[in-house]
Chains A and B, each alone.
Chain A
Amino acid sequence: MNPYFFYAFATITVLMVVLMILQKNPITGAMCLIVSFFSLAGLYVLLEAHFIAVLQILVYAGAIMVLFIFVIMFLNLKKEDLKTGRRPFYQFAALIASGALVTFLVVQYTKIPPVSFPESVAGFGTVEAIGSLMFSKYVIAFEVIGLLLLVGIIGAVLLGKKENHD
């Protein structure tokens, strides 16, 4: 993995996610999220997971973001709606808690001894390799994810359906 590319993509990802949280306007926030998705896809390419990178762009940057933006526009939020009540105590507590967690993680990170990863085998990350693993070794995982998606659909229908009695 080329370290320069890695740091470039990683910086963009983190920066954009932070910007997304800080944006007042939801549409701008969503745009920042798209950029972070693309740079994340770049990271996947560096890891030789090309198929995952393509999926990342197709599914997240394509389908899910369209849905996000559609919902944001559908809600048509006004400036007054976006004002949040200020709660200094909670903000302060959240700042301390997240700051402590980040410090902890950074300290732990510096202590990790250098890890050498094995070279990836030929054909790693291709559609064929993923497909054959998915339908042999991980077939149970595949089936359970099918159930998980089914539950998601049932939930969406159950909560979104119009009541026609009473």
Chain B
Amino acid sequence: METNIQNLLNILVGGITIWILCAGALLCLLIDALWPRKMSVPVYTIGILTLIVTLCSAWYQWLQPDLPAAQDLLVIDLHTLFFITLVVLVGILTILNALGYMQLHNDLTAEFCSLIIFSIIGMVFFFSSDHLLINFIGLETMSLSIYVLVGSHKKNFKSNEAAIKYFIIGGVASAIFLYGVAMFYGAYGTLKISELAMALPTQGLDYLPKTAVAFILTGIFFKLAVVPFHFWAPDVYEGAPSPVTGFMATGVKIASFGFAIRIFIGINVLDMPQIQNLLVVVVVATFIVGNLLAIVQDDVKRMLAYSSVSHAGFVLFGMLAGFREGRYEPFSSHTVMFYLLGYLLMTLGAFAILSLMIRKRSEATHYTDLEGLGHSKPLLAGLFTLFMFSMVGMPGTVGFAAKYSVISLAVQNGHIGLAILAVVMSIVSAFYYLRPSVTMFFKKGAGGCPVIQEIPFTSSASITFCAFTVIYLGLNPDAFIKLAKIAAF
């Protein structure tokens, strides 16, 4: 019994960041239940405060010289703490965006805030556990909250369609993932990643674990929306409310990569040539399809959906670039982590601006809606252009530093062909990333009111933060690359 209490205490102290999140989410829910429809703004404030406290406690744990040893089901190491920082940052920016969005659309529901925090809790369990069972439960908590968030525009037909589509496809993906997990259990009788690593042979995997790896990869690829599994992305991203789209495009991908890095470095399956070939096929297909389809879109949100597909391909390319002569070097995952940080900032900045676009009480993100915005709101249009430049990878922005670190790693490790493809595709991407800016500045609007009329304070706070960090990290990436290097395995 004593050991049990000790165990519980360890879990409580070690996982304090997660328990703060849980308490905050429940508090938001409770306040909304006690004073319905009156306390929306305080609830959002509590949500943001919770996330900030989580960030501080993660930082405090980071500074602790010796972290608590790996607990039974929860591993709080530097890798986990780095990814917690990323997803909590996503959460803060999303809640700020959502507050602005909901003031404009005049439907402020407090559940939105607690669902975002619940989703972050799911993400944290998804990548912080050493046990595939907990990983799966985390994945489901994350996904279930997002299905609801996608459908939270109840009267909008597109939002309903997107929610159903995402729910069914995501359910199938989860089932495939779970099938892979079950195969691991069938082969080795354990679900702990550290025990699986001991049980797996170092050379040449058996058939059962090979199939298991393929199925788990399929589940992750669905969540990442890389190319053979990207079909749901544009419709769902278009139908979901803009802040939720930003949340999905960043948070889900960050959490999935956090999990992918943990499991694949943990059990060393990446060293199989088949897995490497599979990754090469997926990366090449994602680069080509994601970038070319983004060109033909007429809606900024759909364009950003395809752009997020191609960015996921870029991050996967970062994983692939870590192979030197057929072996993955765990240390090189720091490029992936830095890329994710940069991607998060520029994407959420762009979605903060998209969240403000409203016409006749509904979202207006078609290219024609942007016409003349450069004259009515020049500063905002300029910042949007900055985020787009960063996505292309213009020097001086974080996009450049991130892409540069991935490509230079690839060249060092001898993946020349893929590196050339990545550069070519970045140049192609300039075409569709600059189209919104050209529309904003060089096309006169057809009269009518401009698409952005008022800018709520919270939105301007998140836009300012993103713009500042995009430039700051672009000019001075070294400090943060160093942080990512410490956090890499």
- Give chain A's interface residues, CB within 8 Å of chain B: 104-105, 108, 111-113, 115, 117-118, 136-141, 144-145, 147-148, 150-152, 154-155, 157-159, 163
**How many Å from the CB of A97 to the closest CB on chain B?**
10
**How many Å from the CB of B9 to the closest CB on chain A?**
12
- Is A140 a contact partner of B11 (Cβ separation < 8 A)? yes
By a CB distance below 8 angstroms, the chain A residues around B207 are 108, 111-112
* B77 at the binding interface (Cβ < 8 Å): no
Cβ-closest 6 pairs across A and B: A155-B148, A140-B73, A111-B207, A148-B141, A108-B207, A144-B137
- Tell me the bound Cα distance from A112 to B206 in angstroms: 8
Q: Assuming the A-B contacts A147-B141, A151-B145, are A141 and B73 also in contact, with contact meaning beta carbons closer than 8 angstroms in the complex?
A: yes
- Tell me the bound Cα distance from A158 to B110 in angstroms: 10
| Closest Cβ neighbor of B151 among chain A residues | A159
| Closest Cβ neighbor of A155 among chain B residues | B148
* B121 at the binding interface (Cβ < 8 Å): yes
Question: Which of A111, A117, A139, A154 lies at the interface centre, i.e. has the most chain B CB atoms within 10 A of its CB?
Answer: A154
* B161 at the binding interface (Cβ < 8 Å): no
**How many Å from the CB of B70 to the closest CB on chain A?**
13
- Is B121 a contact partner of A147 (Cβ separation < 8 A)? yes
- Is A154 a contact partner of B208 (Cβ separation < 8 A)? no
**How many Å from the CB of A155 to the closest CB on chain B?**
4
* B263 at the binding interface (Cβ < 8 Å): no
Digitize B131-144: 1 where CB-to-A-CB distance is under 8 Å, 0 elsewhere.
10110011011001
- Is B154 a contact partner of A159 (Cβ separation < 8 A)? yes
- Tell me the bound Cα distance from A158 to B163 in angstroms: 13
By a CB distance below 8 angstroms, the chain B residues around A152 are 144
- Considering only residues 3-17 of chain B, those with a C-beta below 8 Å from chain A are 4, 7-8, 11
- Tell me the bound Cα distance from A51 to B293 in angstroms: 51
By a CB distance below 8 angstroms, the chain A residues around B111 are 154, 157-158
- Considering only residues 142-168 of chain B, those with a C-beta below 8 Å from chain A are 144-145, 147-148, 151-152, 154-155, 163
Question: Which of A148, A152, A157, A158 lies at the interface centre, i.e. has the most chain B CB atoms within 10 A of its CB?
Answer: A148
- Is B208 a contact partner of A158 (Cβ separation < 8 A)? no
| Closest Cβ neighbor of A135 among chain B residues | B4
| Closest Cβ neighbor of A154 among chain B residues | B111
- Tell me the bound Cα distance from A150 to B189 in angstroms: 31
- Tell me the bound Cα distance from A14 to B4 in angstroms: 42
**How many Å from the CB of A43 to the closest CB on chain B?**
14
By a CB distance below 8 angstroms, the chain B residues around A158 are 109, 111, 115, 148, 152
* B72 at the binding interface (Cβ < 8 Å): yes
Q: Assuming the A-B contacts A112-B207, A138-B73, are A144 and B141 also in contact, with contact meaning beta carbons closer than 8 angstroms in the complex?
A: yes
Q: Assuming the A-B contacts A139-B8, A141-B73, A155-B145, are A147 and B118 also in contact, with contact meaning beta carbons closer than 8 angstroms in the complex?
A: yes
Q: Assuming the A-B contacts A138-B73, A154-B114, A163-B154, are A148 and B147 also in contact, with contact meaning beta carbons closer than 8 angstroms in the complex?
A: no
Q: Assuming the A-B contacts A112-B207, A137-B72, are A154 and B133 also in contact, with contact meaning beta carbons closer than 8 angstroms in the complex?
A: no
* B430 at the binding interface (Cβ < 8 Å): no
- Is A148 a contact partner of B144 (Cβ separation < 8 A)? yes
- Is A140 a contact partner of B152 (Cβ separation < 8 A)? no
* B29 at the binding interface (Cβ < 8 Å): yes
Partner of A140, one of B134, B140, B163: B134
By a CB distance below 8 angstroms, the chain A residues around B145 are 151, 155
**How many Å from the CB of A34 to the closest CB on chain B?**
20
Given contacts A139-B11, A151-B148, A158-B115, 10 further A-B contacts (CB under 8 A): A108-B208, A140-B72, A141-B73, A147-B122, A148-B141, A151-B145, A154-B111, A154-B114, A155-B115, A157-B111
- Is B140 a contact partner of A148 (Cβ separation < 8 A)? yes
* B211 at the binding interface (Cβ < 8 Å): yes
- Tell me the bound Cα distance from A45 to B468 in angstroms: 61
- Is B73 a contact partner of A136 (Cβ separation < 8 A)? no
Q: Assuming the A-B contacts A151-B144, A154-B114, are A144 and B138 also in contact, with contact meaning beta carbons closer than 8 angstroms in the complex?
A: yes
- Is A154 a contact partner of B29 (Cβ separation < 8 A)? yes
Question: Which of B11, B73, B163, B210 lies at the interface centre, i.e. has the most chain A CB atoms within 10 A of its CB?
Answer: B73
- Tell me the bound Cα distance from A141 to B210 in angstroms: 26
- Tell me the bound Cα distance from A138 to B129 in angstroms: 12
* B314 at the binding interface (Cβ < 8 Å): no
By a CB distance below 8 angstroms, the chain B residues around A155 are 115, 144-145, 147-148
